[in-house]
Structure 1
Amino acid sequence: MREKYAQATYSDHALFNLMLLEMFSPEKGALLEFGSGTGEFLHAAGNGGWRAVGIEPSQMSRAYAKYKYGVDLVKDEWKSTQDDDSAENPDLPRYDAVVFWHVLEHISDPFAFLKDIRNLLTTQGKIYFSIPNSHSLTNEVYGPESPLFIEPDHLYHYTDANVRELLNQAGFEIISIFTRQLVSVSDVLIDAHPHYGPNTPFVERMALLAKWQGERRGHEICCVASVKE
């Protein structure tokens, strides 16, 4: 089943996310990814010049990443160190970028998670992440049955506003935040929309996508942030 989606995962997500790093961390360096899944982004980052390490708790995903891309992922899960004296350990490895794509919505204590990540960054290090957008067109079209709502392990639902507040409280300063809607699935959403439907012409479809993008209605929120000085 993974083979069916490997190319789309690589082209629509891994390469796009790598482009974000090229924009805001062109000097590259050491990178840590939480929740590497089946390894597409880590493979892209390694070939893009990063010294990349990935953490993935799923044995099946780690096995696929090794088989498909030759990527060795670390078996681990995040556990808060907020009450641990080792949290400020100067011997901990430091990274120029810590990334977590569609991971934060699965974290039971996102505030503690972000605070822990601060201790893993170099002085100029940055975090990069994406999360489902609660204010998305997808949720508007499908309502309570939206795939972004019905996933049982989505513990929190995020908007632009509460992401900003969470990062501020955790000691981060936002460098860039925006939403993104995959064009490949936009036609399905417009066809299912009660006010538009399958007879919507091409030019109107493109105008709607631009409008919704301007309103931050994309299916995911993408963010780049650094530690406050």
Structure 2
Amino acid sequence: MKTKSTHIMCKDHLVSGEEFQIKETSRKGILKTLPVPEPNKIGDYYASESYISHTDSKDNFIDKIYQLIKKISIKRKYRTILKYKKDSKTLLDIGSGTGDFLNVSKDYNISSIGTEPNEHARELSRKKGNTIVEYLDQIQDKKFDVITMWHVLEHVYDPTMYLKKIHNLLHRDGLLLIAVPNYKSYDCKYYKSNWAAYDVPRHLWHFSKSGMKQLVEEQDFKITKLKSLPFDSFYVSLLSEEIKSGKKNIVKAFYIGLLSNLKALSTKEYSSILYIVEKNTK
């Protein structure tokens, strides 16, 4: 995807303090972070104890909130899977982090495997009894009923190539679930460059509904349903407030998160969106 004009400038608030451009691309509705860190350098930008999805930390208030929301969200995720794919028996979770979502699959009689590039997160996942590999290319000669990407697609270097690989791994009648932040949401517009879900340069891509629709359709998928992830607006607003002011401002964050969800009732522009995707079999 060729890049065009600059959409916004953002700083890496987690690790380096470096500034990055977020640029429009030739695919309308998709933005790209530039410069893109080299593959052998990108791991440095995740090297922080504050990067919560690679730890099980409960050291501070935000960590505790994250872990609580994660526990509630996992149940919601499986309810969604079984609502749209009742006979689910096999599951692949791409970017499975510390493996809490994978670990619950056995409660639903689903055989699962995960991919996770971060070594520390993989080790935590294995200790929970999960089957986990480092890269997607290590999974061959398998087909899955369900493939999930919970806030992962924004991290990959080539979303098009990833979706091609996923297409080959998914059963003809399988289900693909993709959750990504939505830069058209109210909380994004409110926080602007301080919006935590820009998360440069770990987030290499930034999606809107129209951009996601075009991207998946080009890979012979179709979006059958869009669902809100209402907790995300509160958590992202909490992080954004700390970036903006250096303080947690819990009340303000709750207000902005709530306002974002309320506005999205009519606009459908939630802070994060879950795309229910199937193969286009026509």
TM range (shorter): 0.7 to 0.9
2:57 corresponds in structure 1 to: 3
Contact 1:130 1:222 in 2 (8 A): yes
Sort the Cα spacing of 1:98 and 1:138 in 2 relative to 1 into closer, same or farther, 3 A. Answer: same
TM-score (normalised: structure 2):
0.66
Q: Is the 8 A contact 2:187 2:237 kept in 1?
A: no
Tell me the alpha carbon deviations over residues 93-116 of structure 1, each in whole angstroms, 9 at most, x when there is no partner: 111111111110011111111111
* 1:77-88 → structure 2 map (5 Å cutoff): 77-78=135-136
SS at match of 2:104: helix
What is the Cα-based RMSD across aligned positions, in Å?
3.1
| Aligned residue identity for 1:24 | Y
Q: Gaps (5+ residues) in structure 2?
A: 1-54, 242-250
Q: 1:72 aligns with which of 131, 134, 137?
A: 131
Residue 108 of structure 1: SS of its match in structure 2? coil
Shift of 1:57: 1.5
Deviates more, 1:142-151 or 1:34-43: 142-151
Query: Structure 2: how far apart are the matches of 1:214 and 1:167?
Result: 24
Larger strand proportion, structure 1 or 2? Answer: 2
Q: In the superposition, relative to structure 1, how do residues 138 and 153 fare at CA in structure 2: closer, same or farther (>3 Å)?
A: same
Match of 2:88 in 1: 28
* Unaligned residue ranges in structure 1 (runs of 5+): 80-90, 193-197
Query: Aligned pairs, how many?
Result: 211
Aligned letter for 1:211? K
Residue 162 of structure 1 corresponds to 211
Using the TM superposition, give the Cα deviation of residue 46 of structure 1 relative to its aligned residue in structure 2, in angstroms.
Answer: 2.3
The CA distance in 2 between the partners of 1:21 and 1:51, in whole Å, is 14
Change (3 A) 1:184 1:145: closer
Aligned counterpart in structure 2 of residue 44 of structure 1, from 88, 104, 113: 104
Q: Is the 8 A contact 2:112 2:131 kept in 1?
A: no
Question: What residue identity is the alignment partner of 2:220?
Answer: G
